[in-house]
Structure 1
Amino acid sequence: MIQHGIRFTLKPGVTQEQREEALESLREQGRTIPSVTSFVVGRDYGGEYEWGATFEIEDLDGYWEYLIHPAHLRTDRIGLPLVDRFASFDITDDLSPDFGERIAALHQRRYDSIPDISELVSDLGEYKGSAAPGPHGD
């Protein structure tokens, strides 16, 4: 089991309408991506970010499905341009010592195969976590 999470802070000047569209797009991922078994989207409390989401996924095959699903790509395309600071994390009960490397490899594969998403991630003000360093190894 994998709990994939993101935390983010929006750029100054993002409108309420833009924010709500991006948050609703995250919720739509949870509702429509078959490999997502549960999800939460909302305010992030107790940290340095404003918003967050977690998606429960059964395994790495499902994680890949999640990464390339049209609902996830739509969220990236409408949401990432609004984001200033972004962090991703993954929690798993799989004790394989290379599990983190396999997750990072899936993200890199996605960056390599979907250039516009790679560019959007590269343009973030701050990007850290399980999917970092990002498409260009920054």
Structure 2
Amino acid sequence: MIYHGNRFKLKAGVTQEQIEEALELMHTQGREIPVVKSYLVGREFGSGGFDWGAVFALEDLDAYWDYLTHPAHTRTEREGMRLLERFEAYDITDDDDPDFAAKVAALQQRHRDTDPVLKDLLAELPVNTGVSAVPAAGSGAA
């Protein structure tokens, strides 16, 4: 099982209406993406100064790819990324494959490579960390 998480801080000036629309997009992912086993969208109370977060439970790496490329997810990316000051994506898994992190990085890279709009949106974020971060030129990081 993979728990794919997102934490984000909104830009100054984002309206309550925009927040509600963005959160509804996250809920739509949970309701409409068939491979999502369960999900939670809510306020972030951890360290790091994030405002909101979401976690989506996925069965395996095939489901992860289906989640990344589902229209509900790509719509959230296109509409939501513009509202963010900081974004972090992370994964928690009980998969004991020693290559799990590299496989997730490859899926995220493939997702960016097949979607230049997303790659640009991620690159424009002031702070983007975790599994979806666009690697810095020459860093080799994912």
Q: Matched residue of 2:85: which SS?
A: strand
- Figure out how many residues of one structure are paired with residues of the other and give that number: 135
Letter in 1 for 2:2: I
Structure 1 distance, partners of 2:120, 2:96, is 33
Q: Matched residue of 1:12: which SS?
A: coil
The alpha carbon displacement at 1:106 in A equals 0.3
CA deviations 1:57-113 (Å, max 9, x no partner) are 000000000000000001011100000001111000001111001001000001000
Native 8 Å contact 1:10 1:82 kept in 2: yes
CA RMSD of aligned residues (A): 0.7
Letter in 2 for 1:79: G
Query: How is 1:27-106 mapped onto 2 (pairs within 5 angstroms)?
Result: 27-47=27-47, 48-106=49-107
The alpha carbon displacement at 1:31 in A equals 0.2
Q: Report the equivalent of 1:25.
A: 25
The alpha carbon displacement at 1:131 in A equals 2.1
Structure 2 distance, partners of 1:77, 1:15, is 18
Native 8 Å contact 1:103 1:131 kept in 2: no
Structure 2 distance, partners of 1:130, 1:93, is 17
Letter in 1 for 2:87: F
Question: Where do 5+ consecutive residues of structure 1 fail to align?
Answer: none
Structure 2 distance, partners of 1:35, 1:22, is 21
Question: Where do 5+ consecutive residues of structure 2 fail to align?
Answer: 137-142
Q: Report the equivalent of 2:110.
A: 109
Q: Matched residue of 1:79: which SS?
A: helix
The alpha carbon displacement at 1:130 in A equals 1.9
Structure 2 distance, partners of 1:131, 1:75, is 14
Structure 1 distance, partners of 2:62, 2:31, is 18
Q: Report the equivalent of 2:5.
A: 5
TM-score, structure 2 length as denominator? Answer: 0.93
TM-score, structure 1 length as denominator? Answer: 0.96
Query: Identity of aligned pairs, percent?
Result: 53
